[in-house]
Amino acid sequence: MKISNFKLGIAIPLTFPFVPAGFFYSFAVMDRPNYIFMHQDNGPIDALRNNLVEQALTEGCSHLIMLDTDMEYHRETIPRLLSHRLPIVGALCYRRYPPFDPLMLRGSPVEGYESVDKWEDGELVEVDATGTGCLMFDTQIFRKMPAPWFKFRPNPNNSIGGVIGEDIGFCWDLKQAGYRIFVDTTVPSNHLTTLAVNDSTYRRYKSMKMKQREHAIARALSSGNEIQ
């Protein structure tokens, strides 16, 4: 596959004083075309991401992939994402804390987000938001949209409240600007915490919660209590 004037930037925001071995080993064996390596450290994550984008634009990169260090990556991540020739496309990532759901979100900060739970094998899934742990951009996006691109912001829905993360907030801006966001489900990743969070983790957790619910219903029925 050839892309006119192709120049890839690999951007790594270093938010930790150490890099997990799982990230290092997976990055070392990844298939990578010629690229410019960029990293930023010593700052909040939104500032690190913005600085990496600025660096990519200064270097004249046509494409930029964000790779977070709390992840393990599939060897073919970069060529597979590039092959779609899409403005924004990411790998399949999962939340690293319960319920460990896929970070393929539909909705908005106003109405709330729900995770896409089912998809066909090999499907390219269109979403409204995803994380930036493994996300590929055509850098023309950043040239057309005002900086700062990544920023924390209060949720506009007071009933939901809280703060919108820099990644979900940028996805919201992208959707408002008319861009489409995709996740390639053939590109898995492990989200690292005290264990590697992936599809198996999510399915086991979901099954456990369903069994807990079934047991609670059975106890309520046997005691004559109302089911919540």
Q: 206-211 long-range CB contacts below 8 Å, 24 or more apart?
A: 206/99, 209/99
Give a yes or no: residue 163 inside a domain: yes
In sequence order, the 6+-apart residues with CB closer than 8 A to the CB of 226 are 220
- Matching residue, tokens 């979900």: 168
Enclosing domain of residue 142: 8-197
Strand 134-138 vs strand 63-67: parallel, antiparallel, or unpaired? antiparallel
**Residue-level pLDDT, tens digit, the chain, 228 residues:** 566 579 999 999 998 878 999 999 999 999 999 999 999 998 999 999 999 999 999 999 999 999 999 999 999 999 999 999 999 999 999 999 999 999 999 999 989 999 999 999 999 999 999 999 999 999 999 999 999 999 999 998 888 888 999 999 999 999 999 999 999 999 999 999 888 899 999 999 999 998 888 888 778 777 765 545
3-state secondary structure 145-203: CCCCCCCCEECCCCCCCCEECHHHHHHHHHHHCCCCEEEEEEEEEEEECCCEECHHHHH
Q: How many domains in the chain?
A: 1
Give a yes or no: residue 223 inside a domain: no
* CATH code at position 90: 3.90.550.40
Give a yes or no: residue 173 inside a domain: yes
Helix/strand/coil for 216: helix
Give a yes or no: residue 228 inside a domain: no
Give a yes or no: residue 2 inside a domain: no
Give a yes or no: residue 191 inside a domain: yes
Query: What is the C-alpha to C-alpha distance for residues 88 and 171, in angstroms, rounded to an integer?
Result: 10
Give a yes or no: residue 151 inside a domain: yes
Give a yes or no: residue 222 inside a domain: no
Query: What is the C-alpha to C-alpha distance for residues 87 and 177, in angstroms, rounded to an integer?
Result: 13
